[in-house]
Chain A
Amino acid sequence: MLTHNFAVYGAKILGELAGSVAYFPFWWYSRGLAALMSRLKRFVINQEKSLAFFVWLKNIHRPMYGQYDWQGRVISFFIRLAQVIIRGLIMVFWLFFALAVCLFWIILPFFIFYEIYFQIT
C-alpha cells in the first residue's frame, strides 16, 4: 500500500509546500485580487447604505417631513439637492478610495521588485 509509505508521503508534503509557494504569485492576481475586489465592493455598498445616497436621489422631488404645500416642496427640493451633492461627493471619494486600494494591490509587486532592483544596482 502506497499510502503507508512514509517516503512517498514525506515527498508529498514537501511537494505541497513548494506548490503552495509557487502558487503565491498567481494567487495574487487571480483569487486574491478577486477576493479583494469583492471586499471593496461590499465596502462601497455599505458606505452607500449608511449614506443612503440613492434613497436621497430617488426622493429628490418628494417633500421632506410630509410638507406637501408648495413652500415645503421648494425648500425640500433645495435641501435635498444640497444633500445629494454632499452625499454624492462623499460617495465619489469612497469610490476613488476603493479604486486606489485596488490599484495599489496590482502594482505593489512590481513596485517592490523595482525598489529591490533599485537598491541592489
Chain B
Amino acid sequence: MTEQNIQFIICPVCDGSGKNKYNLACSNCSGMGVGTFFGGTFYYWGLRMGIAVIKLNRLKKKADLLVNLFAFVVGLIGLLALFWWVWANSSGGNIEDLFFWKRKHWLILVFWTSLLFDMFVFYRLSEAAAAKQKIKKNSGEKTVKTDELPNNWKELKQFKSKIDVSSGMGNGAMGVIEDSYIIARRLKHKRVEIMHLFFSLFKDKSVFALFSRLNVDQEKLIRKIKERISKITANGKTELSVEVKKALIEAYLRAMELKQNEVNPLNLVLPCQSRDKVLAEILYDLEIDRDKIINCLAWFRINDKMLERYRTYRKMAGFKPSNNMDRAYTSVATPVLNHLADDLTIAAKWGRLSFSVARDKEIKDIFQQFQSGHTGVILVGEDGVGKNSVVEAIAQLMVEEAVPKIIQDKRLVKLDVSRLVSGATASQAQERLLTIIDEVVRAGNIILYIDNIENIVGISSGGEESLDLSEVLVGAIERGSIFCLATATTRNYVKYIEDTPLGNATAKIKINEPEGNQAIQIIESKIGPLEAKYKVYFSYDSLENVIKLSQRYMHDKYLPAKAVELLELIAVKVSQSKGEWGVVSKDDIARAVSEATGIPISKVTAKESDILLNMEDKIHQRMINQEEAVSMVASSLRRARAQLTGNKRPIASFLFLGPTGVGKTELAKTVADIYFGDEKSMVRVDMSEYQHADSVKKMIGSAQGTRGYLTEAVRKAPFSLILLDEFEKAHPDILNLFLQVMDDGRLTDGQGRTIDFTNSIIISTSNAGAVYIQNEVAAGTDIEKIKEVLINEKLNKIMRPELINRFDGVIVFKPLSEGNVLDITRLMLAKIGKTLEKKGIRMRAEDGGIKILAGEGYDPKFGARPLRRLLQDKVENVIADKILAGELERRDTVVIDDNAEVKVEKGEKL
C-alpha cells in the first residue's frame, strides 16, 4: 500500500476539519471531515482532541493503574495473613490445627476477603489483554460492488461499515499524537501539522532506535524540525490538520495490512515522510530516502517476527516425535539410512537450524509440486543463494506440521553423498543406495534430501549397459514411492541433469539470487546473531553498502552468502578495532571490500556523481583534442545516469567514427579507467573475428558447454566497458544480438543463463567513412554536418538504421592537426619521463626536438599511431642502451635536444 493508492475523500463544507464555524461538528459530514474507503469500510479519524480530554485520558490511565495496584496489594496482604496464621498455629504438631477453612480467626477473614481482590486483578488483566486487539481485521479482499458504497456524505452518514481509526491507536501511538497536540497548543498553532507529529515521535524509544539504525545525526534532524515548526504562523484554536488525519488513517491501514494488533509509533514514520514534502526533503538531505525507511522498518519487523515465530515454534516443536518413528509407530527402522544421513527434522526440533526469511514463494512452489503429484523436486540456483536454507525452512515447517497433509508426520533426511560413495566401489555404492531407497519406501515417513545431486550422476558400476547411480533413484521417484528433494547449481544442472532421466523425473524450481530489498531483508534476519556474537552494532547503511558493493565488486560468489561472509569478517575487525558495541559504518564495509578484492578503497568509495561531473577534465588529462567527442561522451553518460530509475539498458552505448589513430580506443580506455576505476575493466572484442554466421556460438557460447567469449567476460565482470572494435565488420546476426543488448540490457547465453548488461558501457568503433571525414574536415565542414551525412549516407549501407538509432550517441572523431600531434608527443614523452623517474633519472625535452619527433611521427593516414613506434625507436631504445652501457645513472638527466637527439647531462657526484 502506498500513499498514492489511498484516495481520500474530504468534506467540501468543512474542508476536512470536521467542524463548522461555531466549533460544532460539521453537519454535512457529522464531524468525520476526511476519510477513505478500503475493502468496503470507511476509515476516518473521529476523536476530537482537546487538552482536557488528553489530561483526563492520562489521568484515567493512572487511575486504572492505581486500582489494579491497590487490588494486587490487598491480595498480597491476604496471602501474608494466611501465612502468618499458619506460622502462629503450626507449633501444636496437629495437622488438623492447620485446616484454616474450619477455623475462625480475623487473619483468615482477611485472607478470604483478599481472594476476591485476587479475582478482580485477574479480571482486569484478562480484559486488558483482550483489549489489545484494537485493529479490526479487514482483509481487503471482500468484494464490494462499488454501487453499494455511498457516493455522497449524506449516504455516508447512514453507512454502517465505518471505523474510527483513533480506536486502533496503541498507547504509544496515542501518546505521540497527544504530545503533538500539546506542543502545537502551547505554541498557539492553529493546526497540528506533520512536523509536530514527527517531532513528538522522537520521544518514543522504538522510533529513536529506528533512526539510530539509520545512523542519522538526530540532533541535527531535531534542530531542523524545530526550525520548521517555529516558522508556522497560523495561530488559533488548535486542531488536527487534514494532512495529519490522513497520515493517521494511512498508519492504521498499514498496521492492519501487517496484521498488527494496534498502531504503534513506528507505523507513523512512513506516513509522516510521505505527507510532508519538506520533511521528506530534510530527511533526504540527511541521506534517508523512503526505501531506506521501508527496509529499516522491515528489519524491526523481521526481528519481532523471528522472536514470535521462535516462541510458537518452540511450543509446536514439543509435539514432534524426537525419534525416527512417525506418531503411529507404523514406520520401519532405517539403520542404513540413519548411518549415511542426517535427520533435518530432529535438528530443527532442537533448534539447530537458522530461520530463513523472504523465501515464502519458493517454499510454496515446492509444496505445490509435491501436492500435484511430483515426488521429485530439484532446487536449482547458484552457490550461496540459499538453496539449503529453503530446505531447512521446510524442515522447520515440518516440525510445526505447517505443511500440506501429504508430507505431515514425516521426517526430512539429508543423505550424505560423500559417505554414500566413500570407501565403496561403484557397485557397492549402488547397493547402499538401493538399500536406502528400500528403507525409505518401507518406512513411508521419509522425505529424502540430496544436496548437490549431480555428485551421484555418472557413477556407474562398470560396463556400458550398467545403470548410473542416479538412475537407481529415478526408478523410485518415477514409481512415486519416495519423496525426494535435491539441489544443484545452475551450471551442473545444465551439464549433468537436464534432459537426463533424472532431470525428466524431477520438477525444477529455480532459486534466484536475491536482489535489492529482498537481499537486504534476508541480511537483516542474519544480523541479530552476528551482533550478539561479536558485540558490534550494524547501521542500516552498512547493510545496504555490503549488498551494493559485494554485488558490484565480487563476482565469483553470490548473495546472500557473500554478504554474510563479508559481514562476519567485518564484525570481527570492528570488534577488535572499535571495542565492544562499536558501530559498523559504511566505510568499514568499503574497506573490507577493498581488502577482499584488491580494488583501491578510493575507487570503492568514490561517488558516481563526482566522477561524472568532472569527467571532461579527467579525460583531458590523458587525451589531446577531440573536445567534441569527449564532451559528448561525458554529457551522454551524465544524461544516461540521471534518468537511472528503472532503466533496463546498458549505462550508455556509443558509436565512435573516425580515421585510425585519432584516439578512439584511447578514449574508451580512459572512460574505463575513470568510470570503472581501471583501464583493465574493459572487454575488448575484435569484431572482424566474427564475420561468419556461426561465430555467434563463439560470442555467446553453446549448450554443449562452450562458453561465449563476450557473455562469460561480462558475467564475470558486469561493471566494465565493452569495446567492439571495427563493429561494422561483424556478421549481421551478431549485430542483431547487440540490438537486444542495447534495448533490454541483457542477453541469454548458450547455456541458458541471462547475462546482465545494465552495468556496462558499450563502445563500438568503426573506420567507415574515414576518408570522407578527413576530406570534409580538411575542407572545413561543420562536424555536425559531417555526422549527418555519415549516418544518412555512409553508415546505413553497412548497418541497419535501427541499430544506429540504438546508440546513445554517434561520435565523430576529427583527424589530428599538427598542433595536436605536438601535444600528444609531449604527453607520450612525459609518460617515458615518469618511468625514468622511478630509476632516479630526470628527463627534459627541448621544443625543437619535440617538433622534429612530432613531424616524423605523424602520418595523415594513420594519425598518431606511428608516433608511438617512433618514440620507441628514437628515444626509449637509445635510453635503454645508455643505461645498459652505464652511461646513464641515477641523478643524471636525459635531454632531448633541438635536433631530437638523446643526450645525457651528468648529475652531481655524491
A13 touches B56 (CB 8 A): yes
The answer to whether B126 and A13 touch across the interface, beta carbons within 8 angstroms, is no
Restricting to B303-331, which residues have a CB under 8 Å from any CB of A? 318-319, 327-331
Size band of the A side of the interface? 35 or more
Partner of B101, one of A12, A21, A64, A115: A115
B77 close to chain A: CB less than 8 A: no
Give the residue of A3, A27, A52, A56 whose beta carbon is less than 8 angstroms from that of B50.
A3
In the assembled complex, how far is the CB of residue B161 from the closest CB belonging to chain A, in whole angstroms? Answer: 25
Contact (Cβ within 8 A) A50 B319: yes
Q: A66 CA to B439 CA in the complex, in Å? A: 11
User: What class of interface size applies to chain B in its complex with A?
Assistant: 35 or more
B13 at the binding interface (Cβ < 8 Å): no
Cross-chain contact B120 with A3 (CB below 8 angstroms): no
- CB pair B67 A119 closer than 8 Å: no
Alpha-carbon distance between A48 and B143 when the two chains are bound, in angstroms? 40
Which residues of A in the span 82-121 have a Cβ within 8 Å of any Cβ on B?
A: 108-109, 112, 115-116, 118-120
Of B48, B330, B443, the contact of A62 (CB 8 Å cutoff): B330
Q: A66-B332, A116-B113 are in contact. Are A10 and B56 (CB under 8 A)?
A: yes
B310 shortest CB reach to chain A, Å: 19
- Rounded to whole angstroms, the CA-CA distance of A28 and B123 in the bound complex is 8
Q: Kindly state whether residue B141 has any CB partner on chain A within 8 Å.
A: no
Per-position binary interface string of chain B over residues 795-808, scored 1 when its CB falls under 8 Å from any chain A CB and 0 otherwise: 00000000000000
Does the CB pair B48–A65 fall under 8 Å? no
- Quick check: is B442 within 8 A (CB to CB) of the other chain? yes
Does the CB pair A59–B53 fall under 8 Å?
A: no
Nearest A residue to B124 by beta-carbon distance? Answer: A20
Bound form: Cα–Cα A35–B578 in Å:
53
Q: Is the interface of B mostly helix, strand, loop or mixed?
A: helix
CB of A41 within 8 A of chain B? no
> Residue B52 at the A interface, CB < 8 A?
yes
- Chain B, range 533-558, C-beta contacts under 8 Å to A: none
Q: Which of A27, A50, A59 interacts with B328 by CB under 8 Å?
A: A59
Within 8 A of A (CB), among B423-464: 442-444
A118 and B55 alpha carbons, distance in the complex (Å): 46
List, in ascending order, chain B residues with CB within 8 A of A112's CB.
112, 115-116
Report whether A108 and B319 are in contact in the complex, using a CB–CB cutoff of 8 Å. Answer: no
Whether A55 contacts B101 in the complex (CB less than 8 A), given A16-B60, A28-B119, A66-B443, comes out as no
CB distance from A112 to the nearest CB of B (A): 5
User: Roughly how many angstroms separate A46 CA and B318 CA in the complex, as a whole number?
Assistant: 10
Whether, in the assembled complex, A9 has its beta carbon less than 8 Å from a beta carbon of chain B, the answer is yes
Q: Which residue of A lies closest to B55 (CB)?
A: A6
Q: Please, which residues of chain A bring their CB within 8 A of the CB of B55?
A: 6
Least distance between B792 CB and chain A CB atoms (Å):
77
Which of B120, B327, B442 is close to A24, meaning CB atoms less than 8 Å apart? Answer: B120
Interfacial chain A residues near B442, Cβ < 8 Å: 66
Chain A residues with Cβ under 8 A from B63's Cβ? Answer: 13, 17
A29 to chain B, nearest CB (A): 11
Note all chain B residues with C-beta closer than 8 A to A35. Answer: 126, 130
Q: Is A38 interfacial (CB-CB < 8 Å)?
A: no
On whether the beta carbons of B123 and A1 are closer than 8 Å, the reply is: no
Cα A32 to Cα B127 with chains together (Å): 9
Residues in B neighbouring A115, C-beta threshold 8 A: 101, 108, 112
A59 touches B330 (CB 8 A): yes
How distant is B177 from chain A, measured CB to nearest CB, in Å? 16
For the complex, what is the distance from the CA of A58 to the CA of B104, rounded to whole Å? Answer: 55
- Bound Cα distance A27, B695 (Å): 84
Minimum C-beta distance from A30 to chain B (A): 11
Verify A62–B328 contact, CB threshold 8 A.
yes
Q: Inside 8 A of B358's CB, which chain A residues have their CB?
A: none
Given contacts A5-B52, A9-B56, contact A119 B112 (CB under 8 A): yes
Given contacts A10-B56, A20-B124, contact A52 B109 (CB under 8 A): no
A3 to B120, CA, bound (A): 31
> In the bound complex, how far is the Cα of B565 from the Cα of A41, in angstroms?
48
B220 to chain A, nearest CB (A): 38
A3 to B108, CA, bound (A): 47
Please measure, in the bound complex, the distance between the C-alpha atom of A9 and the C-alpha atom of B442, giving whole angstroms.
73
Assuming the contacts A115-B101, A119-B108, asked whether A66 and B330 have C-beta atoms less than 8 A apart, the reply is yes
Give B contacts to A, CB under 8 Å: 23-24, 48, 50, 52-53, 55-56, 59-60, 63-64, 67, 101, 104-106, 108-109, 112-113, 115-116, 119-120, 123-124, 126-127, 130, 318-319, 327-333, 442-444
Q: A residues bordering B, Cβ < 8 Å?
A: 1, 3-6, 9-10, 12-13, 16-17, 20-21, 24, 27-28, 31-32, 35, 46, 49-50, 52, 55-56, 58-59, 62-66, 108-109, 112, 115-116, 118-120
A-B contact pairs, 6 of them (CB 8 A): A4-B50, A10-B56, A21-B120, A35-B126, A50-B319, A65-B333
Top 10 closest pairs, chain A to chain B, by CB: A66-B332, A119-B109, A59-B328, A9-B56, A115-B112, A4-B50, A52-B327, A13-B60, A64-B329, A6-B52
